[in-house]
Amino acid sequence: MSLNYVLVINSEVTSQGAHSAYVFAQELINQQHTVTQVFFYQGISVTNSLVSPASDETDVTALWQAFSAAHNIPLISCISASLRRGVVDETVAKEQHLTSINLADGFTLGGLGEFVTASAGCDRLVQF
């Protein structure tokens, strides 16, 4: 039976959870399930384009970007949690009069409402 999943990422880019979530998401696709949305709530550092791991370390942000592009799965990053942690896109930077932009490509800022809508209708909600 194919199920609809929404994933919530509360793990920082430096913690195991952010990578485990990616492995889990990849396996869902392998097993013909659907991932409606990956919502980055407290794991905002995963969406920060300035994160630069050493060359022999795993680039979790890049893994998510490739995953999203390959399977057309939206990576939504909570806007209020992002502002609190200093990750912004061009629009938000203008609104807040900030001089830098650091939301990584492939991620979109969105409100909690987008998560509510996606998760209220999904078969499984999994938090990492």
Catalytic residues: 78
When binding is defined by CB under 8 A, the residue of 8, 13, 73, 88 that contacts other proteins is 8
Contacts of other proteins in 102-121 (CB under 8 A): 111-113, 115-117, 119-121
Select from 79, 2, 58 the least CA-distant residue to 34.
2
Contacts of other proteins in 10-69 (CB under 8 A): 10, 41-42
Distances (CA, A) of 75 to 3, 41, 56, 57: 19, 11, 25, 22
CA–CA distance, 26 with 22 (Å, rounded to integer): 6
Q: Which is nearer to other proteins, 53 or 111 (CB)?
A: 111
The one segment of 19-27, 47-55, 78-86, 94-102 that binds other proteins by CB under 8 A? 78-86
Helix spans in 1-128 (H): 16-30, 60-71, 79-85, 90-95, 112-120
Q: Which is nearer to other proteins, 61 or 82 (CB)?
A: 82
Place of tokens 């990956």: 38
Q: Where does this chain bind other proteins (CB under 8 A)?
A: 8, 10, 41-42, 80-81, 84, 111-113, 115-117, 119-122, 124-125, 127
